[in-house]
């Protein structure tokens, strides 16, 4: 497992430093690595390369809180695969990913979700459902409404996005952080607060 650190620029002194571990799960080829790389490095990975397991680290500043996020890019999951210890211990939030152009990945993310619930047992760990490749309307196999319905049934937020077009990518991670910090109050909703700064 590797660790990639983003270049950090000094903006302003935050009041609180928080470290969070986020795990991204999904079927092969759904664009997990592309989603993470776009968020961390503002870089789009156009070629698919199977991932073993890799941790990206980035720091972002929001509401005077400095979040250091370790984002684990996992190997492709299906109904028969098992979660590694790294992907199941000490995790603050999960991003469950499917591709809008793959019905198979959409059905598979349901199996991943069921398996994840069995692994974490009685723990309550925030999750969100994410649809990638939403710019490819001509090839779409799963509608936005279908994604919304599943997320609603699970009780999670739903975020459609496109790593290629850099659409809603930041929203994916900020939305999960809001779920993670729902009880801490660190990211209480405030319309006057500016967007986060990725350091």
**Residue 197 resides in a domain:** no
**Residue 169 resides in a domain:** yes
**Residue 97 resides in a domain:** yes
List pLDDT tens digits, range 92-119.
999 999 999 999 999 999 999 999 999 9
List pLDDT tens digits, range 24-71.
999 999 999 999 999 999 989 877 677 678 999 999 988 788 999 999
**Residue 75 resides in a domain:** yes
Write the CB contacts of 137 (distance below 8 Å, at least 6 apart in sequence). none
**Residue 198 resides in a domain:** no
**Residue 199 resides in a domain:** no
pLDDT at residue 127 greater than cutoff 90? yes
Number of domains into which the chain is organized: 1
Domain range enclosing 17: 2-189
pLDDT at residue 194 greater than cutoff 50? no
Phi, psi values for residue 141, rounded to 5°: -115, -15
* Per-residue 3-state assignment (H helix, E strand, C coil) for 51-111: CCEEEEEEEEEECCEEEEEEEEEECCCCCCCCCCCCCCCCCCEEEEEEECCCHHHHHHHHH
**Residue 6 resides in a domain:** yes
Q: Which CATH number fits the domain that encloses residue 148?
A: 3.40.50.300
**Residue 103 resides in a domain:** yes
Share of the chain above pLDDT 70, in %: 86
Q: How far is CA 65 from CA 17, 50, 59, 100, 117, in A?
A: 6, 34, 10, 33, 30
Predicted TM-score (pTM) of this structure: 0.88
Q: How far is CA 191 from CA 15, 63, 69, 116, in A?
A: 20, 11, 24, 34
């Amino acid at each position: 497992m590797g660790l990639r650190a983003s270049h950090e620029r000094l903006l302003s002194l935050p009041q609180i430093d928080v470290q969070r571990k986020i795990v991204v799960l999904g079927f092969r080829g759904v664009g997990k690595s592309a989603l993470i790389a776009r968020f961390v490095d503002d870089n789009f990975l156009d070629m698919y390369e199977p991932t073993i397991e890799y941790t990206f680290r980035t720091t972002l500043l929001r509401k005077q809180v400095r979040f250091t996020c370790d984002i684990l890019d996992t190997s492709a999951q299906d109904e028969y695969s098992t979660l590694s210890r790294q992907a199941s211990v000490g995790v603050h939030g999960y991003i469950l990913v499917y591709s809008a152009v793959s019905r198979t990945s959409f059905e598979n993310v349901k199996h991943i979700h069921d398996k994840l619930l069995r692994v974490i047992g009685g723990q309550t760990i925030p999750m969100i459902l994410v649809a990638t490749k939403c710019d490819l309307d001509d090839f779409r196999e799963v509608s936005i409404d279908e994604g919304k319905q599943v997320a609603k049934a699970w009780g999670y937020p739903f975020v459609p996005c496109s790593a290629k077009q850099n659409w809603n990518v930041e929203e994916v991670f900020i939305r999960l952080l809001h779920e993670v910090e729902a009880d801490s109050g660190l990211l209480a909703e405030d319309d006057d607060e500016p967007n986060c700064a990725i350091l």
